[in-house]
Amino acid sequence: MATAPAVGLKLTIVEGDGAINNITEGRARDPIVRVTDDDNRPLAGAAVTFLLPDLGAGGVFPTGASVTVMTNEDGLATARGLKPNNVAGQFQIRVTASYRTMVARASITQTNAAPPPTPTVRKSNGKLLAIVAIIGGGAAAGAALALSGGNSAAPSPGGGTPVTPTRPPATITPGGGSFGAP
């Protein structure tokens, strides 16, 4: 009577290894593994346990620090609902697959990190806008005076004959500022 050859168990990481989890938003990559036999045929019904570290960087599954799931017809097992903790750093998810009397182990490395803050745009202060409008209006008046050649008569300090101020010609440089209606 011929005996069947011994069948081994293979555990392959499909997703989640090298993932960077966002601890600010509480988002993590769910780990996924595939369980196959020696001939790379998927094994349905294998029990797969995912175990997170107790201390340091890590997280929790909806059931706690570990979760056990069964492989589907494609030999896939997914540990859904992983939430990172608030500790930044690298950690290992220990994975153990068992099928009948066979056992296979693997580790999935992930990192918890807080992304840099995005720059925020502050709303303008109303007083600042008023100051800018006053300065802009004064600049516009000065530009109008300069363009008219400075021929604006001003009353004399003693109240007599108006004095026409003598000013040097105005110089306008491209790219200086812009003037428009208020």
Q: Looking at residues 131-160, what average pLDDT do you find?
A: 54
Question: What does the alpha-carbon distance between residue 36 and residue 159 come to, in Å, rounded to a whole number?
Answer: 105
Q: Is pLDDT above 60 for 62?
A: yes
What is the rounded average pLDDT of the residues 56-75?
Answer: 97
Asked if residue 57 lies in contact with residue 22, where contact means CB atoms within 8 angstroms, the answer is no
In this structure, which amino acid lies at residue 99? Y
Mean pLDDT score of the chain: 80
Q: Which pLDDT does position 1 carry in this prediction? A: 46
Give the whole-number percent of the chain exceeding pLDDT 70: 61
- Number of Cβ within 10 Å of residue 59's Cβ equals 22
26-45, pLDDT tens digit by residue? 999 999 999 999 899 999 99
- What residues have CB less than 8 Å from 87, skipping those under 6 apart? 23, 56, 57, 58, 112
Residue 160 reports pLDDT greater than 60: no
Beta strand segments in 82-158, E: 83-84, 89-99, 102-113
Query: Which residues in 7-20 are b (16+ Cβ under 10 Å) and which e?
Result: eebbbebeebbebe
- The confidence score (pLDDT) of residue 117 equals 76
φ, ψ for residue 69 (rounded to 5)?
-130, 160
> What structural domains does the chain harbor?
9-113 (2.60.40.1930)
Residue bearing the bigger pLDDT, 60 or 138: 60
Rounded Cα gap, residues 79 and 52, in angstroms: 11
